[in-house]
């Protein structure tokens, strides 16, 4: 089913995708002429496949549950924000705060992601084939951030239990973020996520793992210079 944003209002497009009739069993949708519109495909709950033919604005796929969304273009701020489950694939680049606060699901970005990628992430798995900007995984709580390129300044600042895997260079680490040993458990997890992103050719040994030193987990006056 084709939904043309030049002909239909955003509300109508989202309403259609939010109210799937299981009897009609239509699982495939194509959104035409997104033209950078905001809040496309937000609040979806059903296991459907959507292809967006072009660039999207802010919060595409926001709070997604179960849907499989492919964006054939670039994505604005907060793509997949607070996603719970499902999959979002950005074929181009993503702006800041990609996957912000997301609790689950899988986000793949073929290009680069800007600053604060995975900020406050709470369980999502994010794979960025390019590089990420500064403050990525800031206060990240859970889940995995995999970056095949480089990471900007203050990676993983004040993070909690998220695992970060970087293949390229890291400009600087944020407060309480350290490089950690890559053991078999982590190698297997990384391998699985790379396979899921169809990046089997990449070697897991080329990645370094970063995580929390857990020194700022409880406020201590001796750590005041780190805050």
Partner 1 sequence: MKKDKKTLPRQSWTFDEYTNSEIRRAAATGIYDIRGGGSKRRLPHFDDLLFLGASISRYPLEGYREKCSTNVTLGTRYAKKPLELEIPITIAGMSFGALSGSAKEALGRGASTAGTSTTTGDGGMTSEERGQSKHLVYQLLPSRYGMNPNDLRKADAIEVVIGQGAKPGGGGMLLGQKISDRVAEMRTLPKGVDQRSACRHPDWTGPDDLKIKILELREITKWNVPIFVKIAGSRPYYDTALAIKAGADVVVLDGMQGGTAATQEVFIENVGQPTLGCIRPAVDALQDLDMHRKVQLIISGGVRNGADVAKALALGADAVSIGSAAMIAIGDNDPKWEKDYNKLGTTAGAYDDWHEGNDPAGISTQDPKLMKRLDPIKAGKKLSNYLKVMTLEAQTLARSCGKNSLHNLEPEDLCALTIEAAAMARVPLAGTTWIPGINNK
E strands present in the chain = 2-4, 28-32, 49-53, 68-71, 87-90, 106-109, 122-128, 142-147, 163-166, 177-180, 208-212
Q: Region of 29 please: left (phi>0), alpha (psi -120 to 50) or beta.
A: beta
114 touches partner 1 by CB under 8 A: no
For partner 1, the binding residues in 12-31 under the rule CB under 8 A are: 14-15, 18
CA 17/CA 37 separation, integer angstroms: 16
User: Which residue among 59, 106, 207, 210 contacts partner 1 (CB under 8 A)?
Assistant: 59
N-to-C CA span, the chain = 51
How far apart are CB 13 and partner 1 at their closest, in Å?
A: 9
User: Which residue among 38, 180, 196, 208 contacts partner 1 (CB under 8 A)?
Assistant: 38
183 touches partner 1 by CB under 8 A: no
34 touches partner 1 by CB under 8 A: no
How far apart are CB 16 and partner 1 at their closest, in Å?
A: 12
Residue closer to partner 1, measured from CB, 64 or 204:
64
The binding site for partner 1 (CB under 8 A) comprises 10-11, 14-15, 18, 38-39, 42-43, 45, 57-59, 62-63, 65, 77-78, 81-82, 84, 96-97, 100-101, 103, 116, 119-120, 122-123, 138-139, 141-142, 158, 160-161, 217-219, 221
């Amino acid at each position: 089913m084709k939904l043309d944003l030049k002909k239909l209002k955003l509300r109508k497009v989202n309403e259609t995708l939010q109210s799937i009739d299981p009897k009609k069993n239509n699982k495939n949708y194509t959104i035409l002429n997104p033209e950078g519109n905001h809040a496309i495909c937000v609040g979806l709950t059903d296991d459907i496949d959507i292809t967006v033919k072009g660039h999207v604005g802010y919060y595409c796929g926001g709070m997604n549950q179960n849907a499989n969304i492919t964006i054939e273009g670039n994505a604005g701020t907060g793509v997949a924000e607070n996603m719970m489950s499902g999959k979002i694939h950005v074929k181009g680049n993503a702006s800041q705060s990609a996957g912000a606060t997301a609790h689950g699901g899988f986000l793949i970005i073929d290009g680069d992601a800007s600053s604060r990628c995975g900020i406050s992430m709470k369980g999502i798995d994010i794979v960025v084939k390019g590089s990420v900007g500064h403050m990525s995984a800031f206060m990240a709580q859970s889940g995995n951030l995999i970056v095949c390129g480089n990471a900007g300044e203050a990676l993983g600042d004040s993070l909690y239990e998220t695992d970060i895997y970087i293949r390229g260079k890291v400009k600087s680490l944020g407060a309480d973020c350290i490089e950690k040993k890559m053991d078999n458990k982590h190698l297997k997890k990384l391998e699985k996520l790379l396979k899921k992103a169809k990046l089997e050719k990449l070697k897991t040994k080329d990645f370094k793992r970063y995580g929390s030193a857990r020194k700022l987990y409880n406020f201590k006056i001796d750590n005041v210079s780190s805050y």
